Structure 1
Amino acid sequence: MLNAQQAQADRYQRFADLAPFIREAIGTIGALTSAQRTNVDFLEREFIPALGLNDELLHEQPPELPPNFGKGLHLWQYPNQLAPYLAWLARNASGVSSYMEIGCRWGGMFILVTEWLRNSGADLKTVIALDPIAPTPFLSAYFDLPQQQAAIEPIYMQDVSTSPLVGAHVDRLKPDFVFIDGDHSLRGALRDHLLVRSRARIIVHHDIHSQACPDTTLLWKAMKQFEAPSFDMFEFTSQYPSVNGSFLGIGAMKRRSAQM
């Protein structure tokens, strides 16, 4: 137990040491042109790797990307999935006023998507990060930036999505764009979906094409049938031939009645 606690403490210190990179990442995202934000090849090969990739479960990661592991934002995404998703998001950001991430972990993806929305025409007023762990150095540094405090209301909830307090916040804030990456059990992921389903115009599920996450993969397969009358579905599930297996995957749902 002490070893696990020490490992967690060491991990937090590592992210504290990397926290100054947040300003650099914000500047890099903000400097992109509108053409670059929809250039999938550029995003995949240059932009995303430069932001820094996760260094956990490396057997699931492409062996051609090691120079980028364990750096920067520690994005736990495949560049060839995240790039077309970001390009899609750039074309669908207009009208988004609130963003919620259920399961934000270290916070790199949350920071990237928040800044991506801000620079792609969204009129963000509120961003909500939800996770059972304490705010990480990444998120603390990001929320403390003066431009964040002036422009949007940042909310961090150290809680589980089934908490009555979380439900009350969702009722009050009515997030219109939600990224679901929390409880990966079938029951848990479905409950997260139902938590925001009646309010959100865009709902995105993670790990929809992963042999490591069979429940969320099955849920997305069901969603494509059950939610088809109300939502258009978009999948970003490309794999790397160099990886033994299929992992990750991003599934976006956009409500048909909302023209964003």
Structure 2
Amino acid sequence: MLNAQQAPDDRYQRFADLAPFVREAIDTIAALTPAQRVDVDFLEQEFIPALGLNDELLHEQPPELAPSFGKGLHLWQYPNQLAPYLAWLARNAAGITSYMEIGCRWGGMFILVAEWLRTSGADLKRVIALDPIAPTPFIATYFDLLQEQARIEPIYMQAFSTSPLVAAHVDRLKPDFVFIDGDHSLRGAMQDHLLVRAHASIIVHHDIHSQACPDTTWLWKALREFEAPSFDAFEFTSQYPSVNGAFLGIGAMKRRSAQA
């Protein structure tokens, strides 16, 4: 992950030019019917590609999705993994009041999930983005829109998750749904899990089935076993035959005390 000094100025300008798409994406998410929110084929084939996909490390990306690369929210996800995950979220959004993303980078996934929760029945009161880089144009635009509505409190923490200040904020804010996509080392990802475990009813890890991220892949396998007494685990790891290798992967854990 780039720090603020490493992030290229032209890349920031590119996302500044795309920032108006944030409102369009919000409207698109809000317009979905309840049936569309759990229609995995529709989400995979139409909805997610239309939101726009990442254009980095394209050797990990299926070439058939090329028309969506470098557009819109720049989602760094496989549609065939993200679609069933979103459908699962639509069925499990009730009761969620706060969403935190550790490692939000450009912010596309953060915006999608926050709005997905809000329009799928969650009583969302607070969203928290954490990353060592400064807020990107996507995040800044989204936070401005939230502040206009004055219904959801947006919080951005420019810091590493190992900061004592972050730990203090987590203890105070008590996020109940956390997406972990920050430090991909074994130690770092485990620390992020432990950082939020006491408060979160849903913890989601990224890159759980990726040859490019062996530490997070191994950690998920371990957590799935160690957390079995307290959490139910759900995996979204489908791959594309056109890609040489296995990449990405989303793993969700839901605390058993919460309704499955």
What residue is the counterpart of 1:133 in the other structure?
133
Give the 4+ runs in structure 1 shifted more than 2 A.
Answer: 4-7, 146-149
1:158: Cα distance to partner? 0.4
- Partner of residue 237, structure 1: 237
- Please list, as runs of the form range in 1=range in 2, the aligned pairs for 1:196-207 lying within 5 A after superposition: 196-207=196-207
1:101 matched to 2:86: no
Please identify, of 137-146 and 20-29, the stretch whose mean Cα deviation from structure 2 is larger: 137-146
* 1:205 to partner: Cα distance: 0.1
CA deviations on 1:208-232 (whole Å, 9 max, x unpaired) are: 0000000000000001110000000
Match of 2:31 in 1: 31
Matches within 5 A, 1:16-165: 16-145=16-145, 149-165=149-165
For 1:133 and 1:127, the matched residues in 2 are separated by 17
SS in 2 for 1:234: strand
What TM-score do you get using the length of structure 2 for normalisation? 0.97
Cα deviation digits, residues 13-58 of structure 1 (max 9, x gap): 0000000000100000000000000000000000000000000000
TM-superposed deviation, 1:156: 0.4
Task: Note the C-alpha offset of 1:6.
Answer: 8.8
Tell me the distance in 2 between the aligned counterparts of 1:204 and 1:134.
23
How far apart in 2 are the matches of 1:147 and 1:158?
Answer: 19
Distance 2:14 2:240 in 1: 29
Look up the match of 1:195: 195
Look up the equivalent residue of 1:244 and give its one-letter code: N
Amino acid corresponding to residue 8 of structure 1 in structure 2: P
Superposition CA RMSD, Å = 1.3
- Partners of 1:172 and 1:35 lie apart in 2 by 36
Looking at structure 2, the residues matched to 220 and 200 of structure 1 have their Cα atoms a distance apart, in angstroms, of 17
> Matches of 2:64 and 2:151 in 1, distance apart?
39
Contact 1:143 1:149 in 2 (8 A): no
Give the structure 2 partner of residue 249 of structure 1: 249
Aligned counterparts of 1:146 and 1:158: Cα–Cα separation in 2: 19
In 2, are the aligned partners of 1:142 and 1:148 still within 8 Å (CA)? Answer: no
How far apart are 1:5 and its partner, in Å? 6.5
Partner of 2:222: 222
Q: Does the CA contact (< 8 Å) of 1:25 and 1:51 recur in 2?
A: yes
Kindly indicate whether the alpha-carbon contact (under 8 Å) linking 1:185 and 1:216 is maintained by their aligned counterparts in 2: yes
Fraction of identical pairs, as percent: 85
Aligned amino acid, residue 91 of structure 1: R
Equivalent residues of 2:161, 2:167 under 8 A apart: yes
Secondary structure at 1:179 match in 2: strand
Instruction: Determine helix, strand or coil for the equivalent of 1:22.
Output: helix
Structure 1-normalised TM-score? 0.97
Unaligned 5+ segments in structure 2 are: none
The number of residues matched between the two structures is: 257
> 1:147 and 1:161 mapped to 2: Cα distance?
25
Q: 1:97 to 1:6 in 2, by over 3 A?
A: closer
Alpha-carbon distance, 1:7 to partner:
6.8
Q: Residue 148 of structure 1 contacts residue 154 of structure 1 at CA under 8 Å; is this kept in 2? A: no
* Aligned 8 A contact 1:174 1:200 in 2: yes
Structure-2 separation of matches of 1:7 and 1:154: 23
User: Quick check: 1:54–1:69 contact (8 Å CA) kept in 2?
Assistant: yes
> How many Å separate the matches in 2 of 1:42 and 1:124?
25
Residues in 2 aligned to 1:93 and 1:41: alpha-carbon distance in whole angstroms: 20
Counterpart-to-counterpart distance in 2, 1:7 and 1:248: 22
